[in-house]
Structure formats: structure tokens, C-alpha cells
Structure 1
Amino acid sequence: MSIPKHIISAAAIVLNENNQILLIKGPRRGWEIPGGQVEEGESIKDAVVREVKEETGIDVEVINFCGIFQNVSSSICNTLWLATPIGGQFQTSEESLEVRYYPIDEALNMVSWKNFRERILHCLDKSKHPFFVAF
């Protein structure tokens, strides 16, 4: 019997005071929300704060856990969170070629990678919190 190896990730829907969403333009997947893998010994909540800071330069406060998208075939659990900005300044990284806030409708049209748009919609619909989606 093999030892299970799963990946846990944490991503955030960051909404500013104008109800605009923070997006990054990644080198492989285009426009998406900031996030990444949870490191060993790190809480999921701490991971989402760290990932947003690393990819965007923005400090955030997590305000709500939204749910999980589980990719069964790849053994990945993607946790999703709502957050609000509390400081920092835009900065890019190897994972984010561009960083900016967009109106939600515009952002939804920009995000095209796999089910990333669906993830945003689930997070914005508070009646679905928390959600669990397995595919």
C-alpha cells in the first residue's frame, strides 16, 4: 500500500472597498486569483495570507472560508477564502506578471483557465458557503 500524497492549496478572492477583485496574470494560466500550495507546518489560513503577499505585494485579512474544490484525479484540494486588503503595494513576481484590481464583471470575463471562473462565482455567492466541489 502506498502512502497518500496530496497537495493542499489556498487561494483568495480579495475584494477592495470598491468591490473590485484582485487578479494576477500568471505566466502559464493567464488571469487568476492569487494563491498557491500550503507548506509543511503552515496553517491553510496563514498560507493564503502569505501567497497573496508573495504574488501581489498586498497584505490581507482573511474574512471568510468559502469552500473546497477537490481534483480527485490529481489529489489536489484547493481551499478558497474571502479576504480584504489591509496594506501593501502592488508588486509582481515570477508567478505574477501583472497585478491589479478589476470590477467583478470584467474580472470574470478575463479569467479563462479551467474552472477558475467557477471558483470565483462560488466564493462570491455567500449562500453556497462553505461549498465542496469534487471533480
Structure 2
Amino acid sequence: MNFPSHIVSVCGLIENDEGKILMVKNPVRGWEIPGGQVEVGETIIEALKREVKEESGIDIEIGNLTVVHSNIGIGVQYDGVSPIPTIVTFGFTAKSLSGELATSEESLEVCWFERGEVLNLIEEEFITDRVKCMLNYDGRVTYGAFSRNPYILQGVQYI
């Protein structure tokens, strides 16, 4: 029997007092909202706060769960060999509390952008679709399943 292998990840649409959105430039994927994998023994809330701080230098207050996205495709890591497990991502709104913008190994650049600019910066389709749902959050959580290479969105529904 094969045991399931899933990665749980988080991301945040972080807004400052001026209504601008925090973006980080990943060395592989380009511009995206901050986030990453939940570590063993960590809650998704703790993980999001940690990831945002690590990638941007910003401390946050988490708001609403806005999106759940499942990468259901079988893929290969950037090394061209290692398999990519299924990934389930929880996306939240959040407010910036404090901190100074800072880069890291995971963020070549960190910047605040106007809401209207955000989608134009993102190069990866799966990230664009996720952030679009987050920007258009209307109180309902959006669920979407997708696979990559080629990118196929299996469907979006409200839960």
C-alpha cells in the first residue's frame, strides 16, 4: 500500500496601510505573493507568519482564508528527477503590522505594489489564478484544482 504524500503550503495577500500589496521576487518563479511550506509541528497560521517574515521582513496579522488550491498533477522538481508531491495551498488575507522590507535566499526583491499592478507582475499561470481569486475575495472561499506543465485548471468552486 502506498501512503499519501502531500505538501501543505500557505500564501498571503498582505496589504499595508496604503492599500498596497506585498510581493516577493522568487529566484525561480518570479514575482509572487509571499508564502511557503508548512513545517512539521507548525500550524498553517504560524507557517504563514514565519514565511512572510523570512521572505520579506514584515510581521503580519492574518485575516480571512480566501482560497484553497490543490496541485493534483504529478510533476518533476527543478532538478529534473525528483517527483513533486501533491500540494495543497491555503491562501489568506493579511495586514502588515511592522518590519522593514528585506530580501532573503527566497526573495531577490521585495516591494509594495498597487493592487492593479499585481496580476501583471506574475508570470506563473497557477499563481495568477490563485491571486486573482484572492484579490476578488467576496466572503466565500474559492477552491480550485490544477495541474502544471501544461497548466490545466480543473475547475473552481466556492465552498
TM-score, with structure 1 as normaliser: 0.95
SS in 2 for 1:109: helix
Matches within 5 A, 1:86-105: 86-105=97-116
Q: 2-side partners of 1:67 and 1:100: how far apart?
A: 23
What SS class does the counterpart of residue 125 from structure 2 fall into?
coil
CA deviation profile, 1:93-132 (whole Å, cap 9, x unmatched): 0000100100011121111113111111101222262111
Letter in 2 for 1:48: L
Q: Unaligned stretches of 5+ in structure 2?
A: 75-85, 147-159
TM alignment of 1:27-46, pairs within 5 A: 27-46=27-46
RMSD over aligned Cα, in angstroms? Answer: 1.1
For residues 13-54 of structure 1, give each alpha carbon's deviation from its aligned partner in whole angstroms, at most 9, with x where no partner exists. Answer: 001112111000111111000000000110011101110000
Cross-structure match for 2:62? 62
Greater percentage in helix? 1
Contact 1:66/1:123, CA 8 A, preserved across alignment: yes
Secondary structure of the residue aligned to 1:115 is: helix
Matched position secondary structure for 2:120: helix
Alignment check: 8 A CA contact 1:123 1:129 kept: no
Q: State how 1:107-122 maps to structure 2 within 5 Å.
A: 107-122=118-133
Worse-superposed segment, 120-129 or 12-21: 120-129
Q: What secondary structure, in the 3-state scheme, does the structure 2 residue paired with 1:42 have?
A: coil
Contact persistence 1:9–1:38 (CA under 8 A): yes
Note if 1:50 corresponds to 2:61: no
2:25 is paired with a residue whose SS is strand
Call closer, same or farther: CA 1:115–1:128 in 2, change over 3 Å. farther
How many residues align? The count is 135
Q: Any runs of at least 4 consecutive aligned residues in structure 1 with deviations exceeding 2 A, and if so which?
A: 126-129
TM-score scaled by length of structure 2: 0.81
Aligned equivalents of 2:52, 2:125: Cα separation in 1: 21
Q: Which residue of 1 aligns with 2:135?
A: 124
Aligned to 1:6: 6
